[in-house]
Structure 1
Amino acid sequence: MSRCTFAMLFAILLCGSQNAIAQKKILVNNADSLNYDEALYGKDVQVLIGNVEFEHQTALMYCDTAYRFVGSNKFNAKGNIHIIQNDTLHLYGNTLYYDGNTGIAQVRDKVRLVNKDVVLTTDYLDYDRVNNFAYYFNFGKIVNKENTLTSKKGYYYPDADQTHFKDSVVATNPKYIIYSDTLIYNTVTKVANIHGPTHIVGDSNTIYAEAGYYDMMHDVALLKQNAYVQGEQLLKGDTIYYNRASGYGEIFNGMELHDTTNNVIIKGDYGFYNEISKDALATLNAQLLQIYNEDTLFLHADTLQAVPLENGEDKLIKAYRKVQYFRPDMQGRCDSMVFDSRDTTNTFYYDPIMWSMGNQLSADVIRMYTKDEVLDKIDLIDRSFIISEEDTGRYNQIKGKEMVGYVRNNELYRIDVDGNAQSVYFPKDKKNILGVNRAESSNMTIYLKKRQVDQIVMRVSPTGNMNPLFLIADEKLRLDGFYWLEAFRPKTKEDIFIWEELPLFERGEDRSEYDLDETY
């Protein structure tokens, strides 16, 4: 057995420091006592006790007790561990395993790393001094001013001011909580980059994305991959730029805005939505879906706009230019449309044409009413015209200034015509046409059964007669303003995106002067 005094130890170290190789060796700057007992501790093992200080390159390391392995350039330490790296990074713990060859410090039990305004705590941390990064693998927490982030695994890179969190990531802020699989966080910019399924839960909404970033300093986000913002309404998109303070979301590709209150979905390849003001706009392949009990109405226009009303609950949805829509029992087209959630009406403007219940309906303005999500009534305002094909080349017709059509069980059962009422229809005896009936009066009511005229009641100056077909010239079989436009009817929901201009016929209105905002 051999022993060395503490003074002898420092003399040896001082001589060794003259050698360039010794710069890679761990230096002992201080200890209250040093023991060297080969039989008790093993060969080349030194035991340092009390106020122990090591120095290795740019790091100072302090502890209560240390076992130094001279030959392997390593030491194990316990009690009040404190590592200072470059005078800026401080690392604390209860146990330390340090390898001078690799520069890796393994710190265990109540570990705390402090760098600038970043505090990292865990029970298991490995710190690579050479590459200046720390790694924890059994849960860790980083506190960066008002942001607290935890995860099962994590890397901290002081030089880059960056932390990589992996597995069960939770980031807490006074305004929201982030739950993620993988998150990369910059401790200076406070930007969290999203790399995997991530939920951001706040008081008023929940945000989801699988890629992108969230700027925790400015409360703005770029959300990608299955991204959505769920508040009072659900906003989806391939890419969403979102500002929490203003409530503004700008969407690029795959926009979907779900209004569950009014059973409406707005789609487009570009648009925006403000969750505070409730304003919304969609364009580029814009589409409106109105969901009813059994069917959905699919509507396309160049631009869709949602405008909130003063009561804060209802809204107008405006469709601008080249509007076409499809529902199995109803199709149509016009230039512009307004949906009013207060009374669930759809109003169609400028050359509106509707095909429904075997009829073609047209007027200057068409207004459709629903009741309990079922079509209830249709108003035709100014130059109203209803046509149905009775036989090849023969058409039942009703014309007037204004009309109201009443619907029951998805069938027109009554039509009131107000002003300049005219009708042409072909009564039948079972399968055979008996002749043609042409009638006129100021006002008229038509009752229908199974889509056939059953009775006509004429009021004020009625005229009319029924004649065999061979006595009526072909031009008398059609009322003025007759246009059969079946070729322009959308046959499927895909057809609403195919727009064809109508034949040139005078509607008495200049499209260039038409403004939906002034109209409604």
Structure 2
Amino acid sequence: MVFYTPVYEHKGNTLSADSGYIYEDEIKRQFFEAFGNVVITQPSGTVIYSDYLHYDAAAQHALLTGNVKMVDKGSTLTTNHLTYNMRSKVGTYTGGGRIISQGDTITSKNAYYFELTSDAYFRHKVVVRSQNVKVYTDTMRYNSQSKMTYFFGPTNIKPVSSQKGNNENLYTERGTYNTGTGIANFNKNNLYTEGSKFLKGDSLHYERAKGVGEAFRNVVFVDTTDKFYAFGGQGLYTQSEESIRMTDKPYIITVVKDDSSTSESDSTAAVAEPKVPEKEKTKKASEKKVKEVNVDTKEDKDNELPKVRTVRDSSAREAKVDSVYMTADTLFSRMILVKDYKPLALNLSRDGGKMEVDEDIDYGDENNELSDSTLAIAKDTLQTDIKNTVKSIVEKEIASSKPPIKKDTVKTTVPAKSKAVPGAPNRIGDRQHIGNTLKADSVLRQKAVVPIANQADTLINNALRIAQRPDSVISKTDSIPKAQSDTAKTRIVRAYYNVRLFKSDLQAVADSVYYGMQDSMFRFMGRPMIWSQGSQISADTIFMQIVNQQMDNALLKDNAFMVNAVLDSVKFNQLKGRKITAFFKNNSIDQLFVDGNAENLVFSVNDETKIISDMFHDRGGRIKVKMENKKLIDYKTIHKVDQKVYPFKLVTQENEILPGFIWRPQDRPTSKEDLLNRKRELPKAVDAKAGENTDEKQKATESKESIEEAPKKEELKKEVNKNQEEESKTELREEK
């Protein structure tokens, strides 16, 4: 029998429609079918609307079709096909639908809604639209009370077009995001991008309100615009400052050109060794030129540094490149306005310029510091979670249910007037609205681009290739246009505490380093020391400038000292002054100027016998060295010149070492691995806390330690001295 405007009650639930009828199957199970303006009202307050209803009374299972709308607390579900179990309070749609909750709109092809826990699981072409972001994924869980989303596959989170920073994106394959607070926590294949900047880590924490992203373990940061990239165990990115702070064994890599004639260019020449006539004992002159001599750039094979490879594509293979690694306890880099950058006014000149500079140098520092391959895994995880949730809900429902109701508890009443459902919508207008939204959602899902698996690795690798491509790096002359706009920005880099640098032909240590991309200037401060081939370089402050990806000039300011070992560290060639200025060509020394109490101490070695014959000591106001193809072609000493030659028998411990001498080969980084796993050890006589305040007393202590730290070489020294004494006696006899 067909009933018109019937109202049915079953276990506290009220079902009504324009028309309907009840029937039983062969095993006496009762069913109710309703047509037109179907309304289901539950004791919990949940209301469901549809055009058609098929209800299984025994299973309390409802099948609703046609403009279905379910309202539960603050959530509204709309679809064209919904199955709903009134016992477990679980609803499912498989033909497309949407859920709106507290400002969040979620659409997907399939979904499972759990009324008791306010959880919803979404599958296939899932799109979330909130006030601030849009989410694209294939598998997701959402809680309408906490506004928390859970991701189980490749996911992209993008800001809406009206939001600031709409060129950013969050990618993950497993994690959570709260649409209310904007806080994300990812733990699988995670990547944060903002324009040309990329931040990747095994774990990623992001707070949208603060604009802060923090990555942990295997962290990589890349800026393709500035060709800057860094690695570390922990990285903190601040969006407002465009800054990155890396800790836990951090290091940055800079790709530079290597156009030198040899595979390992001598970036810093050894101490100049002018030839002196054998019989000349003492000579003073205002200028002195010497014959061309070869500069020894050979090393023992045991001391050779391993080649460092960088990731680069085939387009850059033809260019000779080298990589510079730099590490410290903390690496910090940020973007600043070009007008706020303070370039150094070193006023270096390749003709030497003034002999002495009394003005202080400005350091230039600032005032303060989802694919099909992953869907199967996600599907299994989702189904397991759903089964566990349903099982828990059913068990709770059975445990708390009342005694069984008799078979005839399905009441059929035909009132004179149909009961009006409170808050019932205008079904004609509402039906049209639901249809329009479902069509719009269908188009949205078709256009939605769900990310594929391993997209994070693909993007970060592409970014690294761009950053490491030397032919795409802008030269210094091009990077500083004549008219800078007020909004133009440049990058600065700060490294502090235990700074160590490694290049195949150059290594360095310091307490802190400051680098500005605007003028490509490195500032090494706090007991800096540089090694190149067999030379060791030290000063209170060291400046190095890169032009067109090549070494261009360097300034050693205050207490400048260069040391070169002779005969396996038996003796040391030494060059010192108040400052040393060096100019490079093809990464090799072109000119060298030593100013302010300049001194040069050189031991002459017989190439055949490998025996030291004499020692040359040169002093003056300035020493000038000219190199070409790694050969000395000009050597001059000017202003108050004092030059002496000592036969080896007259060389003593007092005159073989210049004041301020330091020899610390143990501090030299030997490889990329050594760079990260070992730090410079301060001398025992120096307090670590006062490491930056090195006075003359400390330097004298270091000199003493550096001389005494090689007891194993004493026997070799004695043997060499004995041979040289015999040779000196022979020379005296010949002279007589």
Same fold (TM over 0.5): yes
- Higher helix proportion (structure 1 or 2): 2
Tell whether 2:527 aligns with 1:365. Answer: no
580, 588, 600: which one aligns with 1:423: 600
Q: 2:172 aligns with which of 209, 219, 232?
A: 209
- Name the CA distance, whole Å, in 2 between partners of 1:415 and 1:471: 30
Given that residues 563 and 574 in structure 2 are in contact (C-alpha distance below 8 angstroms), is that contact kept between their aligned partners in structure 1?
Answer: yes
Q: Which residue of 132, 142, 146 maps to 1:185?
A: 142
Query: Is 86-95 or 131-140 further displaced after alignment?
Result: 86-95
Greater CA drift, 263-272 or 442-451: 263-272
Equivalent residue, structure 2, for 1:455: 634
RMSD across aligned C-alpha pairs, in angstroms? Answer: 2.7
Contact 2:31 2:57 in 1 (8 A): yes
Query: 612, 625, 640: which is aligned to 1:446?
Result: 625
Matched residue, 1:501: 681
Partner amino acid for 1:342?
Q
Task: Please list every run of 5 or more consecutive structure 2 residues that lacks an aligned counterpart in the other structure.
Answer: 160-165, 258-320, 339-487, 695-736
Change (3 A) 1:506 1:73: closer
Contact 1:357 1:412 in 2 (8 A): no
**In structure 2, distance between residues paired with 1:112 and 1:250:** 41
Name 1:256's counterpart in structure 2.
220
**Which residue of structure 2 aligns with residue 411 of structure 1?**
588
Quote how far apart the aligned CAs of 1:207 are.
0.8
Q: Secondary structure at the match of 1:54?
A: strand
Structure-2 separation of matches of 1:504 and 1:449: 42
Query: Structure 1 residue 370: deviation in Å?
Result: 0.6
TM-score of the superposed pair, with normalisation by structure 1? 0.82
Deviation at residue 450 of structure 1 after TM alignment = 4.8
Secondary structure of 1:309's aligned partner: strand
Please give the residue correspondences for 1:190-339 in structure 2 after superposition, counting only pairs within 5 Å: 190-202=147-159, 203-232=166-195, 233-292=197-256, 294-311=321-338, 313-339=489-515
Is the contact made by 1:357 and 1:410 (CA closer than 8 Å) also made in structure 2? Answer: no
CA 1:195/1:205 → structure 2, altered by over 3 Å: closer, same or farther?
same
1:511 deviates by 3.1
Name 1:31's counterpart in structure 2.
Answer: none
Aligned residue among 83, 95, 98 for 1:141:
98
Q: Distance in 2 between matches of 1:334 and 1:512?
A: 9
The answer to whether the 8 A contact 1:123-1:140 is kept is yes
Give the C-alpha shift of residue 108 in structure 1: 2.2
Q: Distance in 2 between matches of 1:272 and 1:261?
A: 19
- Structure 1 residues 472 and 512: alpha-carbon distance in aligned structure 2, compared to 1, 3 A threshold: closer
State the shift of 1:362 in Å: 0.8
Whichever residue aligns with residue 440 of structure 1, its letter is: R
Residues 115-174 of structure 1 show CA distances to partners (whole Å, capped at 9, x for unaligned) of 233221222221111010111122221122422111222111122122111222111124
| SS of aligned partner of 2:47 | strand
- Of residues 320-329 and 423-432 in structure 1, the stretch that sits farther from structure 2 once superposed is 423-432
Paired amino acid for 2:87: V
CA distance in 2, matches of 1:190, 1:471: 86
Contact 2:527 2:691 in 1 (8 A): no
Alpha-carbon deviations, 1:176-223, whole Å to 9, x = none? Answer: 211123222111221212222211012141011223321111222222
Q: Which of 43, 50, 67 is equivalent to 2:4?
A: 50
Instruction: Write the distance in 2 (CA, Å) between the matches of 1:505 and 1:483.
Output: 14
Greater shift after overlay, 131-140 or 217-226?
217-226
The C-alpha deviation readout for 1:472-509, integer Å capped at 9, x for no partner, is 446544433333322321111111230141435789x9
Answer yes or no: is 1:86 the counterpart of 2:43.
yes
Summarize the Cα distance change of 1:147–1:50 in structure 2 as closer, same or farther, 3 Å threshold: same
Equivalent position to 1:176, from 99, 119, 133: 133
Aligned residue number for residue 59 of structure 1: 13
Identity of aligned residues (%): 27
The structural deviation recorded for 1:261 is 3.2
1:7 matched to which residue of 2?
Answer: none
Q: Is the partner of 2:489 in helix, strand or coil?
A: coil
1:294-323 deviation line (CA, Å, top 9, x unaligned): 233222212223354344722432222111
**Which of structures 1 and 2 has the larger relative contact order (alpha carbons within 8 angstroms, sep 6+)?**
2
> CA 1:74 to 1:218, structure 2 compared with 1: closer, same or farther past 3 Å?
same
CA distance in 2, matches of 1:373, 1:123: 63
Letter in structure 2 aligned against 1:351: R
| Equivalence for 1:491 | 670
Note the C-alpha offset of 1:419: 0.9
Q: Displacement of 1:334 after TM fit?
A: 1.3
CA contact (8 A) 2:198 2:223 kept: yes
CA apart distance, 1:402: 0.6
- Equivalents in 1 of 2:609, 2:589: separation in Å? 23
Look up the SS of the partner of 1:314 in the other structure.
strand
- The more displaced of 125-134 and 477-486 is 477-486
Task: Please report how far the alpha carbon of residue 400 of structure 1 lies from its aligned counterpart in structure 2 after TM superposition.
Answer: 0.9
- The 8 Å contact of residues 488 and 500 in structure 1, kept in 2 or not, is answered as yes
Instruction: Give 1:464's aligned amino acid.
Output: Q
> What TM-score, normalized to structure 2?
0.59
Q: Please, which moves more after superposition, 401-410 or 109-118?
A: 109-118
Secondary structure in 1 matching 2:58: coil
Which among 151, 157, 161 is matched to residue 108 of structure 2? Answer: 151
Q: Matched residue of 2:574: which SS?
A: strand
Give the structure 2 partner of residue 340 of structure 1.
516
Number of residue pairs matched by the alignment? 467
Deviates more, 1:232-241 or 1:140-149: 232-241
Cα separation, partners in 2 of 1:513 and 1:440, compared to 1, 3 Å: closer
359-368 or 307-316: which moved more?
307-316
Separation in 1 of the partners of 2:22 and 2:239?
63
Give the stretch that moved more between structures: 254-263 or 395-404: 254-263
Q: How big is the shift at 1:57?
A: 1.3
Structure 1, unaligned runs of 5 or more: 1-33, 35-47, 515-520
